[in-house]
Structure 1
Amino acid sequence: MVSRVRTPNEGLARLLNQARWSRAQFARIINRLGAEAGLALHYDQSAVSHWVRGTTPQPPVRRLIVEAFSRKLHRTVTHAEAGLPLTPYDQPPPGVDTIEEIVDLGRADMDPSRRGVIAAASLFSAALTVPLFATSAQAAAPAPVTPGKQTVRIGAGQVTTVRTMIDKIADILDDLGGAHARPMAAAFLVNTVVPWLRAEATAAVKRDMLAAASDLVYLTGWMAMYERDHGTAQTYYTRALRLAGHAEDHVTYCRTLRGMSLQASNLGYGPLALKLADAAAEAAPKAGPRLQAFLTGQQAHATSMVGDQRRARSLLAATETALMKADNRRESIGGYDQSAYAFHVSHVLYEGKDLPGSIKALQQALRVQPSGERQGRVHFYGLLAQRQLEYGHLDAACQSWARFLDDYEHISSARGDEHFDTMRLRLKPFMNAQAVRKLSPRISEVATLKTHA
């Protein structure tokens, strides 16, 4: 007979130390919480010792464990933190919800040293099943941490705070890059937004807070995507979909689907990108012209990836028409302007093998791009230089890469790092060319700055 060696539950032991509970105390607390939930439990110190040594308690008891620590430590404690991760063979215990999953994601983003662990366990899935809006909307709303004992109450002012923070974080993203903005977003999400989601509020305020939280989760996923942490980004996106469903917020749901389509297109999954873009457009409510352009522009890009140039151009025409009807309002989430439209035109032309037309459209996108969007310029100039070099215009490519370096120096972005690496690789065969020799000292200077940043 082979004995099974259990792995000690270090997470549970750590939480017991933080709570300053003995094992006997903890057993009594779990029994008391069980009584609150209608369960007759009779645990003692030996049971807790078994849990610390690696025995996994039953699903209802797991929920009581994280509930006990959440109350004691005055923060959301998740199953994963308590060393009680769910497996595919477990039925989720009552109360495990989207918010708890978001806490685990956010805490990893707050601590960059943990990101590699999360990313390794969360790979991008090209076969992901996306929850339908109706299904998400009908799902039960996330339960509060302490039912019946909640003392915090929120109102419209807290919702406004979340919306304001989203705008500020988006501005930091544009100006300094996702590597700076993403931990900030995660910290605000975990430390402020999650407690407010658990708080008491009117039904209208709860819906508004869920919708605002969905936008913040979507934005955090967007940053993870452009930091090339695609598995984590996809997880954020699916959680944003669920929150939007709970909030009955059709617009946020569709914007998130569109973000997932963009991610799929960035990774080269044309059919999946099109499926998601079409789903976003089909699920959209009667949208304003800017949101309509936001959705159809991505549809055009994805359609061109599968070779349907006729439909792609028709969608571009619809995008342009909608954009002409839009007002001049600047949106941090779901914003779409003439620069974004020209960028989509460039993608469609490039997929249609019109390289010079694609270059021209990219140049137009840069001409009309708002001045504050440094991260966007980094991407646009990096892509423009690559296409100019592909077209055989080395001098023009070096000029674009010089502009790229001017902005890249000031941001921290994995997408920018990728463009920088591509630039150096693509220029290697041309090291003796005058334009490259002129650019090389600047490349070395920026490389040194980034190394010591």
Structure 2
Amino acid sequence: MKTLTPNASLAALFEETGWSRGQFIRATARVGAEAGIPVSYDDSAVPKWFAGSMPRPPVRPLILEALSRKLGRHVTAYAAGFTESPDLSGRAPDTVAGLVDLGSADMDPSRRSVLGAGLFSAAAVIPGWPDVRDRLERVQSDPHMRIGRPEVSAIISMTEHISDLDDKFGGRMARPMAAAFLVNTIVPALKATAPDEVKNALRSAAADHLYLTGYMAMDERQDGLAQQYYTKALELAGSAGDHLTYCTTLRGMSVQAVDLGHGPLAVRLADAAASASPQAGPRMLAFLVGQQAHAAAQTGDRAGALLRMKEAESAMDKAESRAKAFGSYDPSSLNYHVGQVRYELGDVAGSIESMELADRLREPVYRRTRVRYNAMIAERKLEVGRLEEACVDWHRVLDDYPHVQSGRCDDRVRIMISAITPHRKNVHGRELYERAVPLLKAA
């Protein structure tokens, strides 16, 4: 019979957390729920792990992530005693090969569910701008293929087209198309022969496409997958010297972290985005600082959130024209952030007022955004006792909902049904419930 070697490393990390055994298991289970991986252990497993019994392989990354979140640093498999030696290879990631693997799996329906179970890490290492500039490997050029500005323009146009579809119909429909375009068009172009200027423009366009694809994965609640796309976008944007896309991607990662309730990480990402943007114009400044304000408010930093929000409002006042590129920041977006900051700081009525102004200012094309944000307005109206008004807003949500394919919109309708269930004796509540349930089932 094999003699077990006690895992002193894991025991020391556990001691550092201050957790009970039950808290350790529950934290691991929460991470598993995010990744779609059930955790069947109870607290009796913890002393067995300390004694040298190894957790099942799928559970080990969940334990590492739970420890990383609690301790505020990246905990490796070696540090937790799950491997006998650290990975000291120091090899830079093969960006292009990684894109092929990532995109191929995402465009294959038989593999997408497995890929979507990837783990969102709240302790992810965020590469700094100086570190990421040289990380793109030198791929072997294809001597039979050359690219130029027309190919770059075509990639930019296709990304904009997919972005339009995403705004109107949600990420569930458009993301397989984006993944296929990545594998079949963008990756071969990245391997082609071209002058340095064209290669940098191509890497920048590819980074934009990856950012959009990551956003669509996040919209489907495949947060670990979205994080993989975002990280690849950072690598390509950094190698291209593209500060705009680099900062936009970091900000998008902060939005994702806020959405998942990881306030400290959201602050760190938002601050990194702002610091990596040299000489930002007023609209870009509002775009970045507005997210800093939201993240700060979620952590309870009232003074910081209000200061950042004031900076964002001042910057928006100076902005002269509305940007046309996807991810643009406009007065509607600004008022959304004002509403979120107000809500996080306890001003529910004020948040409703700001969110309603954002809705009035929003362009009609953003249907998915309209579904999500109007649902938030209704939820908050119910929170302050305005049931009938909430039902009116929720009916507006249901008018748009059948036309979007979005995991985050599905979530908001589930919240609606749960919130209105206790009010089914009210005629308005009953009508809404009876309309919402079949629509969610159909989705």
DSSP-derived class of the 1:175 partner: helix
Q: Structure 1 residues 350, 212: CA separation in 2 closer, same or farther (over 3 Å shift)? A: same
2:270 matched to 1:277?
A: yes
Among candidates 99, 102, 114, match of residue 102 of structure 1: 99
Distance 2:348 2:304 in 1: 19
2:189 matched to 1:200?
A: no
Residue 123 of structure 1 aligns to which amino acid in structure 2? L
CA RMSD of aligned residues (A): 2.0
Distance 2:302 2:185 in 1: 46
Aligned to 1:44: none
Moved over 6 A (4+): none
Q: 5+ unaligned residues in a row in structure 2: which ranges?
A: 3-84
Aligned to 2:225: 232
Residue 213 of structure 2 aligns to which amino acid in structure 1? T
CA-to-partner distance for each residue in 1:61-102, whole Å, 9 max, x for gaps? Answer: xxxxxxxxxxxxxxxxxxxxxxxxxx98584879x6111112
Map 1:173-322 onto structure 2 (within 5 A). 173-322=166-315
TM-score, L = length of structure 2: 0.78
Map 1:417-428 onto structure 2 (within 5 A). 417-428=410-421
Between structure 1 and structure 2, the one with the greater Rg is 1
Aligned to 2:137: 142
**Contact (CA 8 Å) 2:421, 2:433: kept in 1 or not?**
no
Distance 2:275 2:223 in 1: 25
**Contact (CA 8 Å) 1:179, 1:227: kept in 2 or not?**
yes
Map 1:332-371 onto structure 2 (within 5 A). 332-371=325-364
**Contact (CA 8 Å) 2:417, 2:433: kept in 1 or not?**
no
TM-superposed deviation, 1:446:
2.2
TM-score, L = length of structure 1: 0.76
CA-to-partner distance for each residue in 1:50-70, whole Å, 9 max, x for gaps? Answer: xxxxxxxxxxxxxxxxxxxxx
Aligned to 2:109: 112
Among candidates 129, 148, 152, match of residue 133 of structure 1: 129
CA-to-partner distance for each residue in 1:210-236, whole Å, 9 max, x for gaps? Answer: 011001101111111111101011111
DSSP-derived class of the 1:144 partner: coil
109-118 or 413-422: which moved more? 109-118
Distance 2:376 2:178 in 1: 27
**Contact (CA 8 Å) 2:168, 2:368: kept in 1 or not?**
yes
CA-to-partner distance for each residue in 1:262-291, whole Å, 9 max, x for gaps? Answer: 111001111110011011111111112111
CA-to-partner distance for each residue in 1:353-407, whole Å, 9 max, x for gaps? Answer: 0010011111111110111000110111111111111111111111111011111
Distance 1:260 1:295 in 2: 12
Residue 128 of structure 1 aligns to which amino acid in structure 2? A
Q: Structure 1 residues 327, 186: CA separation in 2 closer, same or farther (over 3 Å shift)? A: farther
Aligned to 2:46: none
Distance 2:303 2:310 in 1: 11
CA-to-partner distance for each residue in 1:399-435, whole Å, 9 max, x for gaps? Answer: 1110111111111111111111111111111111011
Distance 1:329 1:278 in 2: 24
**Contact (CA 8 Å) 2:378, 2:394: kept in 1 or not?**
yes
DSSP-derived class of the 1:268 partner: coil
DSSP-derived class of the 1:124 partner: coil
**Contact (CA 8 Å) 1:138, 1:246: kept in 2 or not?**
yes
Among candidates 355, 361, 372, match of residue 365 of structure 2: 372
2:429 matched to 1:436?
A: yes
Residue 353 of structure 1 aligns to which amino acid in structure 2? G
Residue 132 of structure 1 aligns to which amino acid in structure 2? G
Distance 1:235 1:445 in 2: 34
Residue 168 of structure 2 aligns to which amino acid in structure 1? D
TM-superposed deviation, 1:115:
1.8
Q: How many residues align?
A: 361
Residue 238 of structure 1 aligns to which amino acid in structure 2? T
Distance 1:327 1:162 in 2: 28
Q: 5+ unaligned residues in a row in structure 1: which ranges?
A: 3-86
Aligned to 2:13: none
TM-superposed deviation, 1:295:
0.3
